[in-house]
């Protein structure tokens, strides 16, 4: 790696640049370094504390290889709930990769034991997990740029990606990394819905990749919501498996336990306030909650609420593409995108390959982050080895960076429009073709103004790019949901309540000036069959 500076820009070179320092990004950095690459990781926050994993108690999709029937049955069951979109080959790869990877954290993470004395690899505590990963990549010699968000990619004349540029939030100035290849591990976006831990997840990687020519997949599956104490962002959902819900008059609502509570809860919330208590929670679970999710009880204690005795008001926060499953399309087993030299991992990539048409929840998504991060890093390392020199490519960021003409654009008002179209229960949960068409037209109009006139500078440049990324993501989500002219998994259309066998395929989406959708006819689906 080489370092130089000119004016206020720090110039660096590396074989592989990782953008994003969450679960997928740190696993990617470790894998690329172990493969012999010089690695730089640029994180928007402080790597080791930022991202959704750092606030959670993530489990992993963790199934022993013996007897083989265990994994075969798990994959078969996941296929049944994936509505024909997921791929058994990828599921088997993820199970195997996760199984071999988590034990390598020994020495960095203090794994607990079960009652038989066996090491519990499956469930980890988020804060300690992320600190362990930071220690691991530091020990391997990864160069970490903390508080250094990326703003745009660099692209060579042949179309391959050659690095990125960004800003140094605490030290001031800019940075540029010329690299052989880039891994995007920038997470998904919840459109700043107050989802716990997702404040830095604004879809930046989607926009940067699209500007390089990449497409996305599964963006119609962006309507997962999580229950939270009203007025808080405490979206740890495990405890609500035992919730009893009530309307404003104290009447019990007929909402069954399980994963299908989003629509009935949303319907009740559209009529008025909804309350709940957690009195049905078994005593042994209550005892484990402070261990598994130590932050869950904090807002209740602050407000003097005993959730196991008292009724309290609840809301739902949208999870966008965090627990939704859409993201950058994957075209190779190394998690390559359709742009040479650009790889995607974790929530930045589509998780349809494993999750199918339903949310991957915590465990499948975590296993995907561990696995895809390492595959992307290995692919990027091999690609970088084939590049000669570290020629600086051309910066290719557009919206918010290079307008046709500058006029004042209200970022807060733009975000409000995005949130109204992407998070409102009546629009995003109770979907119809007419509503989606209106959302798409509204977002297109805003995009045309934003792209032509918004210019971020100084302290506003990051928020301007983040707003552009969320606006672009909203357009792709609305267009994909309109193109999926049926109900399938998470995506439910009130005007198309049936699943259509002709749409048992993934839907691709892309474009900036004009958004397009198409059927995925990629080889990966054929590989699965």
Q: Where are the alpha helices (DSSP H) in 53-200?
A: 68-81, 88-101, 126-140
SS3 state of residue 46: coil
Predicted local confidence at residue 525, as pLDDT: 42
Please name every residue paired with 226 in a beta bridge, in sequence order, or none if there are none: 317
When mean pLDDT is compared over 184-198, 234-248, 265-279, the highest value belongs to 265-279
Predicted local confidence at residue 317, as pLDDT: 94
Predicted local confidence at residue 524, as pLDDT: 46
CA Rg value for the chain = 22
Predicted local confidence at residue 392, as pLDDT: 79
- Backbone phi, then psi, for 493, in 5-degree steps? -110, 120
pLDDT at 528 over 80: no
Is residue 225 within 8 A of residue 392, CB to CB? The reply is no
Q: Report residue 360's pLDDT band, with 50, 70 and 90 as the boundaries.
A: confident
Predicted local confidence at residue 529, as pLDDT: 33
Which range, of 148-162, 281-295, 468-482, averages the lowest pLDDT?
281-295
Is residue 354 within 8 A of residue 94, CB to CB? The reply is yes
Which range, of 74-83, 178-187, 365-374, 440-449, averages the lowest pLDDT?
74-83
Q: Tell me: the pLDDT tens digits for 289-329?
A: 887 777 888 999 999 999 999 999 999 999 999 989 999 99
Q: What angle do CA 83, 319, 193 make, to 5 degrees?
A: 155
Is residue 332 within 8 A of residue 379, CB to CB? The reply is yes
* Mean pLDDT along residues 475-504: 96
Give me 382's structure tokens.
Answer: 């091999």
* Mean pLDDT along residues 476-498: 97
Q: Tell me the DSSP string of 420-439.
A: HHHH-HHHHTSB-HHHHHHH
pLDDT at 509 over 50: yes
**Dihedral sign (CA 316, 318, 322, 323):** positive
CA distance readout (Å), 414 to 222, 419, 447: 19, 9, 9
Q: What angle do CA 351, 348, 416 make, to 5 degrees?
A: 110
Q: Tell me: the pLDDT tens digits for 413-436?
A: 999 999 999 999 999 999 999 999
Predicted local confidence at residue 196, as pLDDT: 82
In whole angstroms, give the CA distance from residue 18 to residue 384. 13
Least Cα distance to 101 among 370, 369, 368 occurs for: 370
Predicted local confidence at residue 4, as pLDDT: 57
Q: Tell me: the pLDDT tens digits for 46-80?
A: 999 988 888 877 889 999 999 999 999 999 999 99
CA distance readout (Å), 86 to 355, 364, 369, 495: 6, 12, 16, 25
In whole angstroms, give the CA distance from residue 190 to residue 225. 10
User: Where does residue 528 fall: left (phi above 0), alpha (psi -120 to 50 degrees), or beta otherwise?
Assistant: alpha
Predicted local confidence at residue 53, as pLDDT: 84
* Mean pLDDT along residues 128-154: 97
Where are the strands (E) in 209-340, listed by range? 216-217, 225-229, 244-246, 274-277, 312-318, 327-328
* Mean pLDDT along residues 122-130: 90
Give residue for tokens 């497409």: 215
SS3 state of residue 501: helix
Q: Tell me: the pLDDT tens digits for 375-415?
A: 999 999 999 999 877 677 999 999 999 999 988 899 999 99
- Backbone phi, then psi, for 292, in 5-degree steps? -75, -45
Give residue for tokens 């839907």: 507
Q: Tell me: the pLDDT tens digits for 156-200?
A: 999 999 999 999 999 999 999 999 999 999 999 999 998 888 888
Q: What is the mean pLDDT of the chain?
A: 93
SS (H, E, C) 177-212: EEEEEEEECCCCECCCCCCCCCCCCECHHHHHHHHH
* Mean pLDDT along residues 216-232: 95
């Amino acid at each position: 790696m080489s370092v130089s500076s000119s004016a206020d820009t720090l110039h660096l070179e590396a074989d592989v640049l990782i953008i994003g320092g969450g679960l997928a990004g740190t696993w990617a950095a470790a894998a690329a370094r172990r493969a012999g690459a010089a690695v730089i990781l640029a994180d928007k926050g402080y790597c080791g504390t930022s991202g959704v994993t750092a606030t959670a108690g993530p489990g992993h999709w963790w199934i022993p290889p013996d007897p083989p029937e265990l994994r075969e049955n798990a994959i078969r069951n996941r296929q049944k709930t994936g509505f024909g979109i997921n791929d058994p080959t990828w599921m088997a790869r993820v199970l195997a990769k996760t199984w071999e990877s988590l034990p390598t954290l020994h020495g960095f993470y203090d794994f607990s034991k079960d009652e038989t004395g066996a090491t519990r690899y499956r469930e980890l505590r988020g804060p300690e997990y992320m600190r362990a990963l930071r220690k691991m990549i530091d020990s391997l010699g990864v160069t970490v740029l903390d508080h250094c968000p990326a703003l745009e990619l660099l692209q060579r004349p042949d179309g391959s990606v050659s690095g990125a540029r960004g800003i140094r939030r605490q030290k001031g100035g800019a940075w540029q990394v010329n690299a052989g290849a880039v891994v995007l591990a920038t997470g998904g976006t919840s459109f700043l819905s107050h989802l716990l831990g997702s404040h830095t997840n604004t879809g930046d990687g989607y926009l940067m990749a699209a500007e390089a020519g990449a497409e996305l997949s599964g963006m119609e599956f962006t309507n997962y919501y999580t229950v939270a104490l009203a007025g808080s962002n405490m979206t740890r959902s495990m405890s609500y498996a035992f919730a009893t819900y009530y309307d404003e008059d104290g009447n019990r609502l007929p909402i069954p336990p399980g994963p299908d509570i989003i629509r009935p809860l949303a319907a009740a919330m559209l009529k008025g306030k909804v309350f709940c208590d957690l009195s049905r929670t078994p005593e042994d679970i209550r005892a484990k909650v402070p261990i598994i999710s130590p932050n869950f009880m904090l807002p209740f204690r602050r407000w003097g609420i005993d959730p196991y005795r008292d009724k309290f008001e609840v809301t739902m926060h949208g999870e966008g593409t965090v627990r939704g499953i859409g993201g950058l399309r994957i075209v190779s087993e190394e998690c390559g995108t359709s742009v040479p030299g650009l790889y995607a991992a974790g929530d930045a990539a589509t998780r349809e390959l494993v999750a199918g048409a339903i949310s991957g929840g915590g465990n499948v998504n975590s296993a995907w982050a561990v696995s895809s991060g390492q595959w992307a890093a290995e692919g990027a390392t091999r690609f970088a080895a084939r590049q000669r020199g570290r020629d600086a490519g051309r910066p290719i960021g557009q919206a918010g960076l290079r307008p046709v003409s500058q006029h004042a654009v209200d970022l807060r008002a733009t975000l409000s429009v995005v949130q109204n179209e992407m998070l409102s229960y009546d629009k995003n949960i109770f979907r119809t073709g007419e509503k989606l068409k209106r959302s798409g037209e509204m977002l297109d109009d805003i995009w045309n103004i934003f792209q032509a006139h918004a210019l971020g500078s100084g302290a506003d440049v990051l928020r301007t790019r983040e707003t552009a990324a969320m606006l672009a993501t909203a357009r792709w989500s609305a267009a994909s949901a309109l193109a999926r002219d049926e109900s399938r998994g998470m995506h439910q259309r009130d005007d198309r309540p049936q699943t259509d066998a002709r749409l048992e395929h993934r839907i691709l989406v892309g474009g900036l000036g004009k958004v397009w959708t198409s059927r995925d006819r990629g080889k990966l689906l054929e590989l699965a069959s």
